[in-house]
Every structure is written in structure tokens, then in C-alpha cells.
Structure 1
Amino acid sequence: MYNYVEDGDSKTTAYVESDKEKYEAFMARIEAGEKIEADDWMPDDYRIALIKLISMHGISEIMGALPEKEWVPKAPTLRRKLGIMAKVQDEMGHGQLLLRVAEDLMKPLGKNRESLMKDLLNGDLKFHNVFHMPTKTWADAGMVGWLVDGAAIISQTNMLDASYGPYQRALQRICQEEVFHAQHGESIIMALAEGNEYQRSILQESLNRWWPSLLMFFGPASAETTGSSKQDIMIKYKIRKSNNEELRQAFLSKYMPRVFALGLTVPDETIRYDEKEEKWIYKQPDWEEFKQIIRNKGPRSKERLRLREIAYENNSWVREALATKAVTV
């Protein structure tokens, strides 16, 4: 294939001559809007970028079910309990679907789904910053559905035409279901916003706590901040269309009017829409804190990982049974 050649702090890609034509044909297919399939030839950095993206997405769907799972027994009504149970079930299904997509990409590297779970538990595979956070009140269950899933929809619809076919097709289904999840969250938010003084107070308090995580959701704006050119690689290969800041601006444009319409505020006295620059001005979150959170040093990181580890250990017999070859008589 080809190798990375280090040049100071940047990485350039050096191709062996025999793969130059393959690479040019690959790029021509992408530029023409064709979809790359699991068995097709692909550059190493394309494969690696996809594995990182899809495995993180899949694991985040699974870990993301845990904060809401905590509210299944505490939901205020039977209707709300059934709604959040269905949402948790959907999120776990999304995770399983995405891990299968990632597994196909990993096979040439000698890795499988079990490798991903081990990477998660030893800290090598990260999950989304928002799912390291606590869900302290019922308003948090609504906030996750309304704004966290709303942010996810913006991020995922940005990749609905991704150049990698298996991921693009998985996203078609996932995005359709995420719309219902956002509506589920919005229903909780509306009920609280129209409720009594206590209900409105826990709604505002929840938004105040979640605001930094929501801004962090899309990641830092620039490669200078992240020390990585991951955004550029994914845009170059048409896995995604927009960069992190463009996605964050789309989120603010969609949801800030709705937040204000409910009489809520955000903990940022500087936030405003600049008509001249045609963008939202806001106070940057603490990106050093973001780095610590995704390194499993968030408020609920250890508890959520331990819960996942216990489930993995307790269900080892299922994996062993499925791996056992049938005995013929």
C-alpha cells in the first residue's frame, strides 16, 4: 500500500509507484460520487480514518444509552418509561450496526469486534464527551434527547452521502430513528417548560450544566487546537462535508431561537448572532477540559466504563457459545 513519512509536525503520504494508479482510480471514483465498499482497494489513511470514526460512533451509541438507562425506573409516568426504554433499545441497535461496519474494515488488519471492546476498556477507544456526563434530573433525560440528539442529527446528516457505502447506508436508518429520539426529548422539554416553577427551574439548571458539553460536541474548530488533521482527511475523502465549526454554527442557528422562545437562557453573556459576519459569536468552552473528559477523566467516565465492563464479563458465555462449532454426529 503506502506509508506515512514524518516531516516535522506534519505528515505527508508517500506512495509506492505500483499503487499510484490505484490511488488515482480511487480518487476518481470518489469525485464521481461512487461508493467504496468493504472489499474494494482503499488507501490506508482512508481505512484508518473510517475505523476511528465508525468505531467511536458505534461505541458512543452504546455508551450513550447508559445515561438514559438510569432514568428508565425513575421516569415520571408509564408513557415516559416506555418512551425512554424504546430509545435506549434503538441506541444499542445503532451501536451493534455500526460495530459490524467497523469490523469489516478492521478484518484486513487482523482485528475484530472483541478488539474494539478491549480498546474501549483499556482506554484506547474513546467515546463521545457528552456521555461522560451525569444525568441528575428528569430534565437531563429531555436535554439528551432534544439537544444532544439534535446535535447528533446535524453531525450525522452531514455524512449521509459519505463515500464509504456501508457507513452511508447505516446512517440512512440511524438518522431516521434519531429524528424520533429528538422529538421524544423535545416532548419532555416542552412539558417541563409549560410546567410549574420547580419544573422550569430544573430545566434551566439542566441547560446550564449541559451547555459546555453541547458546545464541545462537535470538537475543536481547528487542527491547531486538536493537533490533528483528521477533519481535513475526512473532507478530502468525502466522508463528511463540513468541518467542526461549521457544524457547531448550524447547531446554534437551529436551536438558539428555540431555546430563547422557551424563555430559557444559556450561561454565556457574550452569545449573539453577528449579522455582518453571518455567524454566532460565543464563549469558547474549556478545550483542555474536553481533552481530559475524552481521556476518561469525566464526571461519570469510570462508572460508565465499569458498567460496560461488567456487562462484557457477565455475557462472555454468549460469545463463547456462538463461537463454538457445531458438533456433528
Structure 2
Amino acid sequence: MDDFWKPLEITPDGSAATPEGLMERLRGLNLGDLLVREKALVFRGFGVTPETLDPVMDLLLPNRLAYVHGNSPRTKVGGNVYTSTEYPPEYTISMHNELSYSATWPSRLLFYCEKAAATGGATPVVDGVRWLESLDDEVREAFAKGVRYTQNLHAGRGLGKSWQETFETEDRDEVAGFLDRIGADWQWRPDGGVRISQIRPATTRHPVTGTEVWFNQADQWHPASLGDEAAAMLAELMPPEELPQSVTFPDGAPIPGEYVIQVRDRGLDNAVDVDWRNGDLLLIDNVLVGHGRRPFTGSRRILVAMSD
């Protein structure tokens, strides 16, 4: 495996340094093959603005998807275009593949930098093969049977996201149909919320290359990733099974905190930072590459969209 993997950077390089120049370049590429080979692509220097973003997105993401069943806080700003995860700027967002806890996930993610942070704010990306191979044998073996994710989505008041936000609907039948289609165990709660449980694999194979990659969000769903103080505070408030989201091994056995900390830290340690400039775009293969966020200062606005 290439020890120096990083996203391929595509610049005007003779073509017009305009959104139209970028679209012309894109029409001349076999984008699907290029993305599988390079895993992530950065488009820089084409002067893409919010007003010129849509036609560029149409070429990069032929079928934009809604962020249905997403667990992170975002704001919808256009036709299946969202703000990136709205966590406080001082926090690192650890590496993950979008919707890897669900039965279906997007194959591509596109990030657009409308406004770069004053300092920091890079989007780190990690090769999923390297991430898997970086883990101790003990950890890989422990996760071999997969993980069980549990969500408690309230009906409008409570910790975390509501089911209405999560599924972008007020229709309980629509939610029930979605959960049945993905094979989840679920039930409506007396307070109007819904409890969802799914067993998912810890790794997956890329549909084109067959490459096995680390592909789960156990570290983000585990209280150990919050730090000892925050985890202890949550434990006082409610038992693990009542948290907005939690994770165990498939049989319900707890996942040791040190395992998820190793997963989190080695993902970040093996990541390559994509530093943003206004107008940049980053396209990633969501199976081959995990992504996250470095802390930042000042205002930062990164938009994200996804496709199958």
C-alpha cells in the first residue's frame, strides 16, 4: 500500500480558472474510474461560488440524496445540500464514513468550501485500508462479528435529534416503512419517540475493488469518545440504553472503552489534512475513505452533498 497516499489535486492547469472551465474538465474525465483509483479528489482554483455551485454538483453527484437517518446536526440549505456537521469549532470530529451505521449509505460525498476558517478547520481524510490495518489484532478480532447500534430519537423534546429531523418527515408511517426496508428492529415509545436497533458489520468491501476497509462508527457512538468527565456525567443522567445513541457488540456485550479510543486515535493519526481555500471542492469515495474535521477559529462554512 502506498505510504504517501493523499487526494489527487486537480487545478485549472491550462483550462479556464472558472466554474465553466471545471465543468469542461469534468466532462472530459471518466470520473467514476478516477475516483475509485484515487479515492479522493480536490478541485482547486476554479472560483466556484455558491451561485455557480449547482451545475458543478450536478456533474460530480448525478443523483443527490437526502440526509435521511443521519445522526449529526446539520441544516438543509438547498436541494439535498447541507451544512457540514455543526459541532462547536474547538472540537475535533473523528474519522468516519457517512452513514456507515445504516443499511444504506452514499457512495460519494462532496464538500464545498464557501468560507474557510481563520485558522484550522481542515477536513482530514483517511484511507480505510490503512485504518483497518493500523488496528491491533485484538481489536480487529473483537469487532469481527460486527456491532449493534441503538438510537433513541425523541418526538420533539429531549437530548439529541428528533425522529422528525432524522427522517425529514412528520409521517410515522413513512418512518416505519423506511425502518422495515432496512431491516432494523424498532418500536414507538410511549412518549412518541422511536427506539431503533441495528446489527451492522464493522468492515465492508468496496463494490468495485473488493478492498476490505474499516467501516463503522462505534467510536463516535460510544461514551468513551466523549472523555471521562462527559461520559461520567451522562452515566449519571441515564443508563446507556436510554442515550440518544449507543453501541455494543451484537450480543449486547459492552465494547471496551480502550478499543474505541484506539480506533478513533489511529484513524486520526493516519489521516491526511485537506486545507480549505474559498471555492475548493473535495469529492471522496465514501467507502474507501473516512473523513472528519480539525478544530478551527473564526467562521467556517463547508457545504456537503452526497449521492449513490
Q: Which TM-score applies when normalising by structure 1?
A: 0.30
The structure, 1 or 2, with the larger RCO (C-alpha pairs under 8 Å, 6+ apart) is 2
Structure with greater helix percent:
1
Q: Which TM-score applies when normalising by structure 2?
A: 0.32
For the pair shown, the structure with the greater C-alpha radius of gyration is 1
